Structure 1
Amino acid sequence: MSLIKQKKKILLVIIAVIAVSAIILSFALKKDDAIATINGKAITKDDLYNEMVKQYGSETVDQLIANKIVASEATKQKITVSESDVNKQIEKLQESYGGEEAFNSALESNNTTLSAVKEDMKNYLTIKKLLEPEIEITEEEMKTYFEENKDSFAQAEQIKASHILVADEKTAKEVKQMLENGGDFPALAKEYSTDDSTKDQGGELGYFSKGDMVTEFDNAAFSLPVNQISDPVKTEYGYHIIKVEAKKEAKEANYDDSKAEIKEQLLEQKIDTEYTTWLEEKKKDYDIKNTLAEV
């Protein structure tokens, strides 16, 4: 599993924990208020709270206890996680979701916020710093991992491009003419593009490989020289004006070039498997009482 995919898995866990915790805590107040009725009989916040506690309460409190232990151990070892560290991981998560807009939609659909995810990412990075000194990764492990996952370390040909998407050919030709007359591509993208996910960034699509886009777009983009602008390209989405900004040649997998990434991926895997054991050992040093565990 790649680092980005691993982090995406972590985000899903974070979202689940935050969502459940928020529900349980929100219904802890004014529990006797009715939230629904059926044939005049009320279903109260107290009813819902009790049901949520039965299903998720103990697990959620266990997570909160774990977070407190992690924070305490970090303080003992003078471990800190900077805002910059957190933001770098959030950027990788956004990339794994296909951009900031898709990432924010995932947060919204799961009733959580960016600030809440950042807090839990900070907790995860703290765990990583606590466990990393105790984890050994050998050269043999790294070479074996490389051989078993060689395809993932190869780099396909990639291009970096921007586009302006419009609904009809007439508008596309008008935009192309404006560009030929010296018009600014990002400014015209903001004004004319119907692609809401990229227009405010000047139509930027970032780097992508062949096969990531629809066939007509791919064929046009990969045939363009750098800094050239295409004629209108018709796809199922409308008409595109494409500008290629940079290219990366295909590269075969190389162990020496990939060592840092391999080590990071193995570290992520080992943290995932060893965290539970580490936490259970640390719990022995704390006086812990979880009354929900007895319900």
Structure 2
Amino acid sequence: MSIKKRLLSAALALTLGASLLTGCSKGADGSGSQSSSGDSSSDVQAMDLTDVTDPYLATAGIAGDTVVGTVGDYEVTADSLLYWLNYNINYTKQQYSAYGISDMRWDETSEDGTTTAQALLKTAMQLASFYRLLPELAAKEGLSVPQETIDGLKDDEASITQQLGSETLKDHYFWMQMLTPALYQKMYQAGEASQLLQDEYFGEGTQGYPTDAEVKTYAEDELGYYRAKHILLLTKDMSKTVTNDDGTTGYAPLDDETIAQKKAKADELLQQLRASDDPVALFDQLMNENSEDTGLAANPDGYTTSKGAMVPEFEQAALALKEGEISDVVESDYGYHIILRLPLDLDQFRSQLIGDKMEQQSNQWLEEYGVKTNEVYDQIDPQAFWEKAQSLTLGAKNEIQAVMDAKTAEDSSSSADGSASTGTAGSSSSGS
């Protein structure tokens, strides 16, 4: 199974710093919301965390340090697996929600007979294995995470403890994302190791660094991107809509005489360009003076777009041009276009290509080392785990919200007392 870039690019869903409780606003009933969990179901009951010492044992019945499999000779433990399982379920629910689906389809099967629950768990194991492997791979290359980064993580943790007032609440803060402080540090450092490895293999100056030719081929042929600008003379009134014969709606056409004038003007502009010694320079001048494209102000340097995004007539004409060439007058449903094909800004795509190369390398590493699971892994029920994870998350949020509310109330009270004291002193002074 391919490692998803969208997951790897977001190694940690936890944000540290000033916005300690982003996503923990109180609901109308005074309870903590569940925005970070991706499920705001009102029937989730907050877990009593009084006797909970291991969030993984409380949600999956497995201690966090339990071995659930291996990648090569390296052990993968339950804490990392369950973090990624929680992340995957959360992400999938968000995708479902975008399509108006409120419930997880745990038992829905793919063509190979794998259920949604099994696929989520398998992907989580791949990710946990990859993050377990990263520090080992970096060490073999002589790469290490800078000490200042490690110290910064410790400082962040200390800051959270200070804000919340106890080590217990600090732990519960991390539990909201199915993390522990120790796992957070490991995961963060693994993410840093990934960046070090990427720079080592594909950074500027290395043999793997993509050449301009490679980036161009990747952007144009694999991703289907091209760049162009145009002079557009509209043959539609963009402020009015009409119902077409087929029942669809569209913009109202201009009258025939005006359309003919637009065509004549387009032909005239093209003649000026064909007669110019520097048609590219003249193109910008004529475009700025004459184009009726409402998107011109936002795209003065042209459109970087992919195949299928523009009207067919524009796209076909643009793709038929070489870079620096200017088209004849092209008619589309919107009006008359004169198109200038432009070179892509390759720097926009180089980092994406490097990311793709790193993903391919990552999948290759997993294949080479091999991922194996054991009987503990087989016992994990993603749906049951998720339901308890929701309960634990809500319990932690409610605890932390209560502390933050108390701090806010205390600060407000102190501020009010200070204002009253100042006001009294002021009144006394003015009355004397």
TM-score with structure 2 length normalisation? Answer: 0.29
Higher helix proportion (structure 1 or 2): 1
Task: Identify which of structures 1 and 2 has the higher relative contact order when contacts are C-alpha pairs closer than 8 Å and 6+ apart.
Answer: 2
TM-score with structure 1 length normalisation? Answer: 0.38
Question: Based on CA coordinates, which of the two structures has the bigger radius of gyration?
Answer: 2
